[in-house]
Amino acid sequence: MSIQFFSLRLEESPKAILTAINAIFMTKSAFFIVIIRVILIASNKTLICKELYDLLYKMVALREQALHKKRNCSTNERDFIMMNLPLNVDFSGKVVVITGATGQICSAMVRAFAQCGAKVAAMGRNEAAVKKLADEVKADGFICEGYTANVLDKEALEAAHQQILADLGPCDILVNGAGGNNPRATTDNEYHHEAWEGCQTFFDLEPDAVDSLFKLNVQGTLLPVQVFAKDMVEKQSGCILNISSMNAFIPLTKIPAYSGAKAAISNFTKWLATHFAGSGIRCNAIAPGFLISAQNKALLFNEDGTPTARSTKILNGTPSHRFVEAEEMLGATLFLCNDKSASAITGVILPVDAGFSAYSGV
């Protein structure tokens, strides 16, 4: 990695400074870190000018967005990537363990925490996917290791824990991102009186599918806490972030099991916050609104790209009349996991939903 140093003096005109910064960004280097020292002529102190820092950050983000419209390029083809993070938070020295790390939301969290200086342990069931994510983050110049473990297998979690201790150190922040729905625990009809021949009704839901869904979402959160919160208890400090859902506030039609499981996550979050309060551990959750993903795209949009009836209901029930993006979870995530900004915040389930949970419909 090449490190280029440039000195800019405050006596120079803003135009000259901008020209110099732009020249830096035109470098052909595959990887680069730019350090700008703004030297105040009247004293011997070296200052970092906030205006220039903000400008530099925005220019980096714009440049990288233009260069990386496709993020699925090979590692060798990638340049240095900077996410345009909503908060400037320093997690240097912190070890962050993220389960379900290759998912839409949590993969963004992995990159964000790493960019903020954390040592990130990305955990998932798919070894190839976890390795690919970790390799990409490391190729961007950050610290990230991938670990394969099933959140329902406590022995596998314990083994991963020992490896993380050896590689990165004890866990400071745990993000429980593993979870999901099961089609076999979902009804085809919203209301029973609208059932049609051949559709999967409430009476057709398979008990093993419902049981599997609850295990993934609830036990898949409880077991990682049992394993990794021991580090936090020993240090008398730490943070746990769970992933709840809009379903936890008001259950959505068609998905009774998933709604119940996410309601349990919200309840468990409050329980953990109380249980660990005297141990210096905070526990909160975010409740994402409706995102468009590969899994639900067919449910939200017709083949011609127009919204489905269900998608229209969601948008009409959202005051902002839009879906949310995975990256929009990062502000709440970084805020809640930062001991300085959220030192007295624990037991909170924070909606990130473009207003969906606040709207009564009238």
Assign 20 a pLDDT band (cuts: 50, 70, 90): low
Do 219 and 302 share a domain, yes or no? yes
Do 21 and 170 share a domain, yes or no? no
**DSSP class per residue in 245-270:** -GGGTSPPTT-HHHHHHHHHHHHHHH
Buried-exposed string 160-182: b where 16+ CB fall within 10 A, e elsewhere: bbeebeeebebbbbbbbbbbebb
Please give the share of the chain, as a percent, with pLDDT higher than 90.
Answer: 71
Do 56 and 204 share a domain, yes or no? no
166 lies in a domain? yes
Do 35 and 102 share a domain, yes or no? no
Do 255 and 110 share a domain, yes or no? yes
Rounded to whole angstroms, the Cα distance separating 334 from 339 reads 10
Do 343 and 302 share a domain, yes or no? yes
301 lies in a domain? yes
Do 116 and 224 share a domain, yes or no? yes
Do 109 and 67 share a domain, yes or no? no
Number of domains in the chain: 2
Do 199 and 307 share a domain, yes or no? yes
Active site residues: 258
Q: What is the pLDDT of residue 334?
A: 98
pLDDT in tens, 222-233: 999 999 999 999
Model-level pTM greater than 0.85?
no
Domain's final residue, options 42, 77, 112: 77
pLDDT in tens, 327-339: 999 999 999 999 9
Residues with Cβ within 8 Å of residue 346, at least 6 apart in sequence = 273, 277, 282, 283, 284
Residues with Cβ within 8 Å of residue 34, at least 6 apart in sequence = 4, 6, 24, 25, 56, 60
Helices (H), the chain: 14-25, 50-67, 104-115, 127-139, 154-167, 207-214, 220-235, 256-275, 297-300, 309-316, 330-337
Do 53 and 26 share a domain, yes or no? yes
Domain's final residue, options 77, 109, 124: 77
Q: Which three-class secondary structure state does DSSP give residue 9?
A: strand
Supply the range of the domain harboring residue 319: 95-358
86 lies in a domain? no
Domain's final residue, options 47, 77, 107: 77
* Residue type for position 46: T
pLDDT in tens, 59-96: 545 544 444 443 444 433 444 457 788 888 999 999 99
Do 31 and 145 share a domain, yes or no? no
